[in-house]
Amino acid sequence: MWIVVIIGIGLLTAFAQLAVQGFPADSVEVMRAVLLHQFAVSHGIIAVGGFIINVLYPKRTAAQLGWPSGPFQVKYGFAQLGLGVMGVMSIWFQGNFWVGTLVTLYIYGLSGLWTHTQEIVRKRREGGKTDWVEVSNIVLDVVYHVVLTWMSLQIPGIWSFE
Distances (CA, A) of 21 to 11, 34, 41, 98, 155: 15, 13, 18, 22, 18
CB-based contact 67:47 (threshold 8 Å): no
Query: Would you tell me how many other CB atoms lie within 10 Å of the CB of residue 42?
Result: 24
Tell me phi and psi for residue 39, to 5 degrees: -65, -55
Q: What is the pTM of this model?
A: 0.85
Query: Would you tell me how many other CB atoms lie within 10 Å of the CB of residue 21?
Result: 11
| Residue 130: predicted pLDDT | 79
Name the packing angle between helices 27-37 and 132-154 (round to 10°).
130
| Residue 1: predicted pLDDT | 67
Tens of each residue's pLDDT in the chain, 162 residues: 688 999 999 999 999 999 999 998 899 999 999 999 999 999 999 899 989 998 999 889 888 877 788 888 888 889 889 999 999 999 999 999 999 999 999 998 898 899 889 888 988 888 888 778 888 989 999 999 999 999 999 999 998 876
| Residue 3: predicted pLDDT | 86
Element (H, E) at 88: helix 72-89
> For the purposes of burial, counting CB atoms within 10 Å of the CB of 84, is it exposed (0-12), middle (13-18) or buried (19 or more)?
buried
